Chain A
């Protein structure tokens, strides 16, 4: 005889025993004696670290004053940073010309907002603005020499300004170049593939310091007499090529995660190679690769500090130079803490943006 259930079971709410603050704490913080002990010890460590940092950086710190004499030595002496702020931000860019850098910042910030945020849906014009208009205008603004603007040699550029120039140029060059290299590495044309593999493997096999050193010291030896590139350009080329090689491998990882069927479906619909790549494969591959791409960006951003060795005064080098000033002896800690904080703000920002972007692009096919 068959057993038949005639009534449907109704949907019930989940059991409520583990809700509420007390329930959560009991469950997560004090579920066993060992767990409780670990919780207490961890809380103590956190309190100890945070209170130490707060008292050093804020409570006992000096904010007011102009010179070394205003430092009491009880905590951080931010007077040093304040006194040198202009130099830390702009390097030796002439004071009366610094508005040009500020305008560049504003233009770029507007562009970044339009391209990266959700406000404008159609990204075509923001992209043109950000990747064509802003770079061109910034070049003329920063370097000068036309439109009645005084020339500011790149040797005068420095501080956070130089760091941002290095990082943004390298990022803008590295991503597209990396994509091209990754596609080349997977190409069916043997010569193209060999060139790409050769480039990637060579560049990845040497330290960035070597690349920069070669660009600045060895390159002039090979160039004809009298021909000389700007030191900054050489550093930019070196950093861009270096990070492009890393980017290529990151993008290749993304490309490999896309099933072969996607390309086949695109082809069977009559799409050509570039259409299939641009519309089907790359959007998916880059989305998968976002965490690694941002990871590479963050690494690249911090690696800009290595230009120190070829004599460019980026954020780190200019602070370092400041700490050797005899009027400010002993200010190294404040200087480095400040640099670290600035780097952290930028890198953390990139990291949060990548998380936001991943969530936005999620279309429910990953379960």
Chain B
């Protein structure tokens, strides 16, 4: 997979992980990860808990540090160079399991903070952009409330809008619906689906297999720190190759 990817031009490749390893102390969490994500591609990452899915996507915007191998995002290789890290973080949006909205700021201020301070956008312009994205996630009327006054689903949609305000070229989703009540999951997934339809490059760690089937170009299955299998969703769900994938799928589809 990685060899084929390397022959492609930089323009087509959004993210490239080459022989990436990571350890937490003595514990080897990610083992020889090779992954190429093309521009506009939607990838769903699944696997049992503790398999390193979140750690992998957190390495892509350097919330976690990798110790071996290469990570190239948007043509920039991630090293200890703080400038490059900041450059990549500006282009890569992230949505977290627990939303991580800033509770002391209003919804609107949450959305305008980074554009104003990082991109130096004038305040009025930043607010206009923020309102545009809040309308897209269908909660413009909550703009002046504080995150603590919103429901979980609304908070997650604000978090998505907050990321979009930076005009990222890549979006990472780290189990965006896992902390939500069941009746709020669909409102967040709808937002993500519409984002995917617009051609955003997305990597999404999720257990929502329905989402994977509708949206994903490729599904990646991880276990014990390794990428075990990757395939287009139809193939992945109907004809999984590895035993571990089959076991995992039988477990989650049984419950779902």
Residues of chain A having any CB pair with chain B under 8 Å: 259, 261-262, 264-272, 275, 279-280, 283-284, 287, 361, 363-367
One of B30-38, B112-120, B221-229 at the interface: B112-120
A261 to B96, CA, bound (A): 8
Which residues 46-92 of B have a CB within 8 angstroms of A? 61-63, 82, 86, 89-90, 92
With both chains docked as a complex, state the minimum distance between the C-beta of A264 and any C-beta of chain B, in angstroms. 5
Q: Is B102 an interface residue (CB 8 A)?
A: yes
With both chains docked as a complex, state the minimum distance between the C-beta of A318 and any C-beta of chain B, in angstroms. 44
Q: Is B101 an interface residue (CB 8 A)?
A: yes
With both chains docked as a complex, state the minimum distance between the C-beta of B23 and any C-beta of chain A, in angstroms. 17
B118 & A262 in contact (Cβ 8 Å cutoff) = no
Q: List 20 A-B contacts (CB under 8 A).
A: A261-B96, A261-B98, A264-B96, A265-B94, A265-B159, A268-B94, A269-B93, A269-B166, A270-B86, A270-B89, A275-B118, A279-B117, A280-B102, A283-B104, A284-B102, A284-B103, A287-B104, A363-B103, A363-B104, A366-B148
A365 & B103 in contact (Cβ 8 Å cutoff) = yes
A93 to B73, CA, bound (A): 68
B104 & A268 in contact (Cβ 8 Å cutoff) = no
Residues of chain B having any CB pair with chain A under 8 Å: 61-63, 82, 86, 89-90, 92-94, 96, 98, 100-104, 113-114, 117-118, 146-149, 159, 162-163, 166
A365 to B107, CA, bound (A): 12
Give me 6 other A-B pairs in contact (C-beta within 8 A), A269-B114, A275-B118 excluded. A262-B100, A268-B61, A268-B92, A284-B102, A284-B103, A363-B148
A139 to B94, CA, bound (A): 51
With both chains docked as a complex, state the minimum distance between the C-beta of A284 and any C-beta of chain B, in angstroms. 5
With both chains docked as a complex, state the minimum distance between the C-beta of A279 and any C-beta of chain B, in angstroms. 6
A364 & B92 in contact (Cβ 8 Å cutoff) = no
A264 to B166, CA, bound (A): 16
With both chains docked as a complex, state the minimum distance between the C-beta of A364 and any C-beta of chain B, in angstroms. 4
A284 to B103, CA, bound (A): 8
Chain B residue numbers with a CB within 8 Å of A271 are 113-114, 117-118
Chain A residue numbers with a CB within 8 Å of B92 are 268
B89 & A267 in contact (Cβ 8 Å cutoff) = yes
B104 & A269 in contact (Cβ 8 Å cutoff) = no
Chain A residue numbers with a CB within 8 Å of B103 are 284, 363, 365
B100 & A275 in contact (Cβ 8 Å cutoff) = no
Chain A residue numbers with a CB within 8 Å of B100 are 259, 261-262, 264-265
A365 & B114 in contact (Cβ 8 Å cutoff) = no
B102 & A270 in contact (Cβ 8 Å cutoff) = no
B118 & A264 in contact (Cβ 8 Å cutoff) = no
Among candidates B101, B114, B148, B159, residue contacting A270 with C-beta atoms closer than 8 Å: B114
Chain B residue numbers with a CB within 8 Å of A259 are 98, 100
A287 to B63, CA, bound (A): 26
A270 & B118 in contact (Cβ 8 Å cutoff) = yes
Chain A residue numbers with a CB within 8 Å of B113 are 269, 271, 279
A264 to B89, CA, bound (A): 11
B102 & A262 in contact (Cβ 8 Å cutoff) = yes
Chain B residue numbers with a CB within 8 Å of A365 are 103-104, 146-148
A18 to B97, CA, bound (A): 46
Chain B residue numbers with a CB within 8 Å of A361 are 104
A53 to B179, CA, bound (A): 59
A264 & B162 in contact (Cβ 8 Å cutoff) = no
Chain B residue numbers with a CB within 8 Å of A366 are 148
CB nearest to B87 among chain A residues: A270
CB nearest to B58 among chain A residues: A264
B101 & A269 in contact (Cβ 8 Å cutoff) = no
Chain B residue numbers with a CB within 8 Å of A266 are 102
Chain B residue numbers with a CB within 8 Å of A261 are 96, 98, 100
The 9 closest A-B pairs by CB, nearest first: A365-B148, A265-B100, A365-B103, A269-B114, A261-B100, A268-B94, A270-B90, A363-B146, A364-B148
CB nearest to A272 among chain B residues: B86
Chain A residue numbers with a CB within 8 Å of B159 are 265
CB nearest to A262 among chain B residues: B100
CB nearest to A366 among chain B residues: B148
B96 & A269 in contact (Cβ 8 Å cutoff) = no
A287 to B102, CA, bound (A): 13
Chain B residue numbers with a CB within 8 Å of A284 are 102-104
B104 & A275 in contact (Cβ 8 Å cutoff) = no
Chain A residue numbers with a CB within 8 Å of B149 are 364
A272 to B62, CA, bound (A): 13
Chain B residue numbers with a CB within 8 Å of A268 are 61, 63, 89, 92-94, 163
Interface centre among B62, B93, B102, B149 (most CB of A within 10 A): B102
A275 & B117 in contact (Cβ 8 Å cutoff) = yes
Chain B residue numbers with a CB within 8 Å of A283 are 104
A265 & B117 in contact (Cβ 8 Å cutoff) = no
Chain A residue numbers with a CB within 8 Å of B114 are 269-271
With both chains docked as a complex, state the minimum distance between the C-beta of A128 and any C-beta of chain B, in angstroms. 21
A269 & B146 in contact (Cβ 8 Å cutoff) = no
CB nearest to B146 among chain A residues: A363
A118 to B71, CA, bound (A): 49
A340 to B37, CA, bound (A): 71
A227 to B98, CA, bound (A): 59
B146 & A264 in contact (Cβ 8 Å cutoff) = no
Interface centre among B62, B92, B100, B148 (most CB of A within 10 A): B100
